[in-house]
Chain A
Amino acid sequence: MQLQVKGLSKKYYSGFLGNNVTDAVDDVSFEIKEGEIFGLVGGSGSGKTTVSKIVMGLLKPSAGGVFYNNRDLTKINNRQWYLLRKEIQMVFQHPQMTFNPRRNIYFACAEPIRLYKLAKNKTEEKAMVEHLIERVGLTKDQLKKYPHELSGGQAQRLSITRALCLQPKFIICDEPTSMLDVSVQAQILQLLKEIHDEFNITMLYISHDLEVIQSICDRVAVMKNGKIVEIGKTEEIFKNPQHHYTKQLLESALYI
């Protein structure tokens, strides 16, 4: 068991004296085995992204815990997170918004290498960046560009590059292809699958697109209003859905 999520809850308080309570995530538990692609499906506002942010340590949960190799991620301090970020990385939904618009692509790709002092000198750093960027199918001349000059697909490849350059063991992908065209989506998903096969990386893949989930995930959890309503192997859920919400989701598919 690489990652275990036990009884995770996140409550938001609003209104007079915080009397309005919203359960963004409510008692969510799941487990991800090593080398597995785990899918999280649900409509907008079902709490998928909140779960991913809690796992990533960007939000503190109200209750419950996240155990990574039996270490509770919700209770560790920033110094320990710095070391753990090497193993856990995230690919965000809006690729272009994750880059600093005032620095070029080379800086964006070299920043994690500098932070973790992976390269001894400038030339080694440059060689590392160039190797990585070719790995995801981009050319060296892209490095001088600024984020706004890239297309959505290229920007998403770069954010995957940045996540990969620390050689993580666990990647969270938060709707990486929801803003992209089908042809570019296929390119990105193939890239993710290649990386998964090559380095045996565990993935938590969040999406609302059932077709994509069906084609890449090993196991799936279906979320609705902050709760997991169904969890199981991808084929079983798609062939024989039990919960009525899953059935409803599958019925709303538009088949070609």
Chain B
Amino acid sequence: MSVLLEIKDLNVSFTVDDKQVHILNNVSLEINKNEVLAVIGETGCGKSVTGSAILHLLPDNAIVTGDILFKGKDITKMNEQEFRQLRGQAIASVPQSPSTSLNPLMHVGNQVAECVLENNSSEDDKKKTVAKVHEIFASLGLPRGEDFYQNYPCELSGGMCQRVLIAMGVITHPELLIVDEPTKAVDWALRKDVVDVFCELKNEMKCAMLFITHDIAAAKYVADRIAVMYCGEVVEIGPTDSVINQPLHPYTKGLIASMPSKGFKVMNGFMPSFQDLPKGCRFSDRCECTSDICINNEPEIVEIAEGHFAKCSIYKNLNVSELFKHAATS
């Protein structure tokens, strides 16, 4: 499988009151073609910042270092004009909060068509685009057929608005779709529908996705691989099944154990503020098995099983046989 997007040692800091706040710390990810990578983590752990960094949508006070390679080309070094050719065409995004992301004064159909049409498009092009929009609406299971094009966002429910946004993301047939918290603003029954839509997209459109979410169950259904983020670091990354069923990093274990269906165990403490982080491992003050190494040294990323990495000092000095023993006991 060929690599579509490769993020190498991405660091993002923001300048706040003449001080630099370091948010993302050496984030490295890869997305292969036709693969869905879910990024999960708590609010404020830097998931959305990663997504915005790929799309060049960070505010002006952000300082980005590191490489983001899209099909071998470094997109962090591109200027705005070059990147505009990619954004919306090859890399598209579905923003969070469907209720506030749509223009309230435009028909939803026109908003979707706007993504492809240019100022000087001919009448013929416009007609073709309108037909295409109808086609996409039908394939996303939106009701009312042709009339739906003429609706305003205020007339639609949250789930429908979400699907209109998805339509805007997929109309250009992007190679990479960045989806930010699609299940956040929708309720229980709609959440299943939204997850189903993404599962279909994955099978039919064959586009790669970066699925940013805090909903572990949704990530499990859609994703091929899962990356767990904590405090601006990727602490664990691996295939969906092994991350959910055999979590390695203590944070992932805690996160999964706090699901209502998985026993409701409570993790101690809160996520620290970015202005005063622990010196060594960022999880050390909440972790159950903290030792001196954790407090003083930053852990390295270790490959434990095939394609399954964890950033934790427990696994650093263990050799293979001990690893299996550890996995069996924990």
Tell me if chain B binds chain A: yes
Query: Which A residues lie at the B interface, using CB under 8 A?
Result: 43-44, 151-154, 181-187, 189-190, 208-212, 214-215, 248-249, 252-256
The 10 closest A-B pairs by CB, nearest first: A252-B192, A186-B258, A254-B217, A211-B260, A44-B187, A208-B188, A215-B260, A181-B42, A208-B187, A183-B258
Interfacial chain A residues near B192, Cβ < 8 Å: 252-254
Q: Identify 28 residue pairs between A and B in the complex whose beta-carbon atoms are under 8 Å apart, listed by A's number.
A: A43-B190, A44-B158, A151-B43, A153-B270, A181-B43, A181-B214, A183-B255, A183-B258, A184-B42, A185-B258, A209-B260, A210-B188, A212-B260, A214-B260, A215-B260, A249-B189, A252-B188, A252-B192, A252-B193, A253-B192, A254-B192, A254-B217, A254-B218, A254-B221, A255-B261, A256-B217, A256-B256, A256-B259
Interfacial chain A residues near B278, Cβ < 8 Å: none
Count of chain B residues with Cβ under 8 Å from any Cβ of A?
A: 33
Residue of A151, A248, A256 touching B261 (CB-CB under 8 A)? A256
Given contacts A183-B42, A185-B258, contact A255 B266 (CB under 8 A): no
Interfacial chain B residues near A181, Cβ < 8 Å: 42-43, 214
- Interface hits, B208-264 → A, CB 8 Å: 214, 216-218, 220-221, 244, 254-256, 258-262, 264
**Additional A-B contact list (19), CB under 8 Å, known A186-B267, A256-B256:** A43-B188, A43-B190, A154-B270, A181-B42, A182-B214, A182-B216, A182-B259, A183-B255, A184-B270, A185-B260, A186-B264, A189-B260, A190-B266, A211-B260, A249-B188, A252-B189, A253-B188, A254-B195, A254-B217
Flag B136-174 by CB within 8 Å of A: 1 or 0 each.
000000000000000000000110000000000000000
Counting residue pairs across A and B whose Cβ atoms lie within 8 Å, the total is 85
Interfacial chain A residues near B255, Cβ < 8 Å: 182-183
Q: Does A254 lie within 8 Å of B191, measured CB to CB? A: yes
Interfacial chain A residues near B265, Cβ < 8 Å: 186
CA A248 to CA B43, docked complex, whole Å:
30
CA A190 to CA B260, docked complex, whole Å:
11
Interfacial chain B residues near A183, Cβ < 8 Å: 42, 254-255, 258, 266-267
B44 at the A interface (CB under 8 A): yes
Interface of A, secondary structure class, is helix
Residue of A43, A151, A184 touching B189 (CB-CB under 8 A)? A43
A247 → chain B closest CB, angstroms? 12
Q: Does B264 lie within 8 Å of A256, measured CB to CB? A: no
CA A189 to CA B263, docked complex, whole Å:
12
Interfacial chain B residues near A189, Cβ < 8 Å: 260, 264
Interfacial chain B residues near A248, Cβ < 8 Å: 189
CA A211 to CA B258, docked complex, whole Å:
12
Interface of B, secondary structure class, is helix
CA A252 to CA B195, docked complex, whole Å:
10
A216 → chain B closest CB, angstroms? 8
Interfacial chain A residues near B256, Cβ < 8 Å: 256
Residue of B nearest to A190 (CB): B266
Q: Does A187 lie within 8 Å of B214, measured CB to CB? A: no
B263 → chain A closest CB, angstroms? 9
CA A58 to CA B195, docked complex, whole Å:
36
CA A254 to CA B267, docked complex, whole Å:
23
Flag B4-29 by CB within 8 Å of A: 1 or 0 each.
00000000000000000000000000
B260 → chain A closest CB, angstroms? 4
Flag B272-283 by CB within 8 Å of A: 1 or 0 each.
000000000000
Interfacial chain B residues near A214, Cβ < 8 Å: 260
Q: Does B216 lie within 8 Å of A256, measured CB to CB? A: yes
Interfacial chain A residues near B218, Cβ < 8 Å: 254
CA A44 to CA B244, docked complex, whole Å:
30
Interfacial chain A residues near B44, Cβ < 8 Å: 151
B158 → chain A closest CB, angstroms? 7
Q: Does A252 lie within 8 Å of B191, measured CB to CB? A: yes
Interfacial chain A residues near B191, Cβ < 8 Å: 252, 254
Q: Does B188 lie within 8 Å of A256, measured CB to CB? A: no
Given contacts A183-B255, A183-B258, A215-B264, contact A43 B187 (CB under 8 A): yes
CA A189 to CA B261, docked complex, whole Å:
13
Interfacial chain A residues near B158, Cβ < 8 Å: 44
CA A76 to CA B6, docked complex, whole Å:
66
- Interface hits, B45-93 → A, CB 8 Å: none
CA A16 to CA B218, docked complex, whole Å:
44
A174 → chain B closest CB, angstroms? 14
Interfacial chain A residues near B187, Cβ < 8 Å: 43-44, 208
CA A161 to CA B169, docked complex, whole Å:
43
CA A185 to CA B43, docked complex, whole Å:
12
A148 → chain B closest CB, angstroms? 14
